[in-house]
Homo-oligomer: A and B are copies of this chain.
Amino acid sequence: MRLLGGRWRLLIVSYLINGPKRFSALRRCIPAISQRMLTLDLRALEEAGLVTRTIFPTVPATVEYALAADGDRLVPVVDAMRAFGLWLKEREAGQDPEDP
């Protein structure tokens, strides 16, 4: 549980499910996260073997993050979290039908 305890880690994983992303692209996806926190979270996910980091020898170097094979284990967690998040958003936005 501790591995996913960070506020942003599951969110980071959710953005990687759709395909590899550069550091800068992840930052654009999650504007509220600091550069330092994103670095630390990605490192923790990498050390747990859930995310891979690939460095491309461009100038300047391009660093791409992707979900590792084991990272697929997180898909059900992200899905369940996403469904809950949508329900919460709808509940906040919608009016109670019994209370017109």
Chain A 38-63 interface mask (CB, 8 Å, partner B; 1/0):
00000000001000000000000000
- Which of B1, B7, B70, B83 is close to A85, meaning CB atoms less than 8 Å apart? B1
| Chain A residues with a Cβ closer than 8 Å to the other chain, count | 25
Q: Which of A1-55 touch B at CB < 8 Å?
A: 1-8, 10-11, 48
**CB-CB < 8 A to A91: which residues of B?**
70
Closest B residue by C-beta to A78: B80
Could you mark each residue 58-100 of chain A with 1 if its beta carbon is under 8 Å from any beta carbon of chain B, else 0?
Answer: 0000000000001001101101110111011001000000000
Question: Contact at B5–A1, with CB atoms within 8 Å?
Answer: no
Q: How far is the CB of A14 from chain B (nearest CB, A)?
A: 9
Known: A2-B7, A8-B5, A10-B1. A80 touches B76 (CB 8 A): yes
Please measure, in the bound complex, the distance between the C-alpha atom of A3 and the C-alpha atom of B78, giving whole angstroms.
Answer: 15
Whether B80 pairs with A84 at a CB distance below 8 angstroms is no
